[in-house]
Structure 1
Amino acid sequence: MTKVSFYILGSTDPLDRQQFACRLAEKAYLQGHQVFIHTEDQDQSEAMDKALWAFRPDSFVPHQVLATDNKIEAPVLISHENIAPPKLMDVLINLNPVQPLFFSQFERLAEIINGDEAIKKQGRVRYQFYKDRGYHLDTHQINN
């Protein structure tokens, strides 16, 4: 069963949320995991793509934005489509306001919540969704 972790950021700045997603993706990648970052829309997918190239000067996280016509080679994929990745992956980072339909195929799910009221409200709904279905939940307070 998927282990669900909620990371609660004190900041309301969307860039802090994006930065934390980059750090989490890097950590998972360096531990040998295959990572899928599920974004809200095309703009957020493109922003994550750029952020992963530049969030730290000494960092390299091989990644690609998933498109229907591209060959999947990177261990970190980014997509806003609500379809499962075309290859087996074990860590899902969700930046989308709703839980992905395919979340249960992953070993780990990371939900990143910041201080923005809309994001907190959506996060509470997802937390209850997972709890009602018996998923193991843990919460981490992150001080930026």
Structure 2
Amino acid sequence: MKKVIFYLLENPTEASDSGVLFHEKLACEKIVTAWQSKLRVLVACQDQTQAERIDEYLWQLDTDQFVPHNLVGEGLKGGSPVEICWPEKHSNGSRQLLINLQEQFPNFSNVYNDVIDFVPVNERLKSLARDRYKLYKEAGFNLKTIPVMCQ
């Protein structure tokens, strides 16, 4: 059964003290949890800048939260267990979980059974998330929304 979990952010302060946005930090928490559950993860970023920001944030985590990861095209031939890509540089590796940070619907999502997506506070981004929600539904995914307070 294909499923998407949308994390609905519910506080107007989405900035973070670490330079990453709250939904990016939440995505990194989900990456750590997935890796600790032995899942291979693809993180689909909006652009290379965001991908590098996520990559850098993951390198700064405490050692007990270490996640073997790389930007697409770096590292091992099959990629690390967690691979970070963006539209101009997509991964062909086999993964179990897609974490989508892209504003647009990821057309390659149909190869995943599990997807995590986010509904940021920003109204424009929220509208784009609604569009993705509809497209996931049309693609046959079961959808679940989980509210999250930004802190």
TM over 0.5: yes
Matches of 2:139 and 2:84, distance apart in 1:
26
Contact 1:83 1:102 survives alignment (8 Å): no
Worse overlay, 60-69 or 41-50: 60-69
- 1:45 equivalent to 2:48? Answer no
Partner of 1:98: 104
Q: Which runs of 5+ in 2 are unaligned?
A: none
Partner of 1:8: 8
Q: Which runs of 5+ in 1 are unaligned?
A: none
- 1:142 equivalent to 2:133? Answer no
Matches of 1:68 and 1:117, distance apart in 2:
35
Matches of 1:123 and 1:56, distance apart in 2:
31
Partner of 1:25: 31
Worse overlay, 89-98 or 57-66: 57-66
Aligned residues: 144
Matches of 2:143 and 2:89, distance apart in 1:
23
Q: How does 1:61-100 map to 2 (within 5 A)?
A: 61-67=67-73, 71-81=77-87, 85-100=91-106
How far the C-alpha of 1:55 sits from its partner, in A, is: 4.1
Distance change >3 Å, CA 48–CA 107, structure 1 → 2: same
**TM-score, length basis structure 2:** 0.85
Contact 2:72 2:79 survives alignment (8 Å): no
The CA RMSD over aligned residues, in Å, is 2.1
What SS does the corresponding residue of 2:21 show, helix, strand or coil? helix
Contact 1:82 1:100 survives alignment (8 Å): no
Matches of 2:115 and 2:92, distance apart in 1:
17
Matches of 1:69 and 1:56, distance apart in 2:
21
Distance change >3 Å, CA 42–CA 82, structure 1 → 2: closer
**TM-score, length basis structure 1:** 0.89
Matches of 2:111 and 2:89, distance apart in 1:
12
